[in-house]
Every structure is written in C-alpha cells, then in structure tokens.
Copies of this chain bind each other. A is one copy, B any other.
Amino acid sequence: MAASREDIVAVAIQHLNHAPNASMAEIAQAAGVSRATLHRHFSTRAELQYELASRAMDAWAKTHTAVGLDEALSADLDAAGIKRVLDELLTVTLEHSDEHGFALTDHTTHGQPDLVRHANELEEKEIALFAAAQRAGVLRADLPPRWVSNLVYGLLVAVRESMRQGDVARRDLPRIFLDTFYRGTT
C-alpha cells in the first residue's frame, strides 16, 4: 500500500494551499496515487475539501490547546503571563501556517455551517486574547482587536509570499514575523 488516507490528506493540504484550484487529478498525482484511488478515499471533491477544512479546524483548535488559550482567558493573568501566551500563540500559528493557516479561507469552508461556526468560535477566542492583551498594556489599546486578528492573517500571507519567492531566509521568519507584529517597520 503506497499511500494511506492520512498521507493523501497531508499532501492535499500542502498542494491546495499552493494551488487552490488544482484538479482531483493533480491532487492525486501530487499524492502519488491514481485518481480512482483518491476517489476511493473521498467520493467527491467536496468531501475531500470538507475533510481538509475539518482537519485544519481541529489543528487550529489544538494550537489553542497547546498554548493554553482557554485557561489564559479564564484566569486573571498578569501582563507577563498574557505576553507569554500571545508569543506562543503567534509562534505556533506561524509554524503550522502551512497546514491550516490558509486552508481556513472562505473557499474551503464555503457555506458549511458547522465549519463556519467552528472557525468563528476559534477566531473569537483569539480576539478575546488580543483584547485582554490591550487591557493589560501588552498591546496598544487604540487598534480594534478584530483588526489585530486580521493583521495576523495578513502577516501570515506576507510570510507565505516571502517563502514562495525566497525573499527571506526561512530561519529568520519567526523573528521577523513577531517583531513586525509588535514593532512595525520603524
């Protein structure tokens, strides 16, 4: 057995992040299986995309668990504690941006109510963290927390572009990503 369902999923996520409109034939080729085999695992393209979006959502939820986001939101953390959780969230999010950062765009959750709801829940938690960071003085208070959430997404897009074009050394990206988020360009 050359490729398991898990192998196929992993390759499909990577490939669709790079080429969102790739055909089933192209995805199968990238995964090293035939189109028939891909169809044996996923009856339709919509089923495959749903699976990928679900997994991306789960991975995003795991990111939140890994950094202890729920606990941080419940506890009365001081500024240093919030800063640490925020740093960890940003770092882990960057590390996993290939797996789930871009799969969670509109065209993958497209109209699936449970996926949209789950994504919204996860985003609201991050926004709550940004708001708490603002109250604690970790982040400036004059930017809407929802803007900060979109900013993180925009920075991930900038990271992806930089990696695609080889504009920045990969090992420098975490420092540059965090530094730009906090300090901007001046």
Interchain CB contact (< 8 A) of A154 among B140, B147, B154, B185: B154
18 contacts between A and B (CB under 8 A): A138-B186, A139-B185, A140-B185, A143-B176, A143-B185, A144-B168, A144-B172, A146-B162, A146-B165, A148-B185, A149-B167, A150-B161, A154-B156, A154-B161, A155-B158, A157-B157, A182-B186, A183-B186
Query: A153 an interface residue at 8 Å Cβ cutoff?
Result: yes
Main secondary structure of the interface of A (DSSP, over half): helix
Query: A36 an interface residue at 8 Å Cβ cutoff?
Result: no
Copies of this chain, how many?
2
Q: How far, in whole Å, are A186 and B133 apart by their CA atoms in the complex?
A: 10
Query: A181 an interface residue at 8 Å Cβ cutoff?
Result: yes
Smallest CB–CB gap between A93 and chain B, Å? 14
Q: How many positions in chain A have a CB within 8 Å of any CB in the partner chain? A: 35
- Chain B residues with CB under 8 Å of A186's CB are 138-140, 182-183
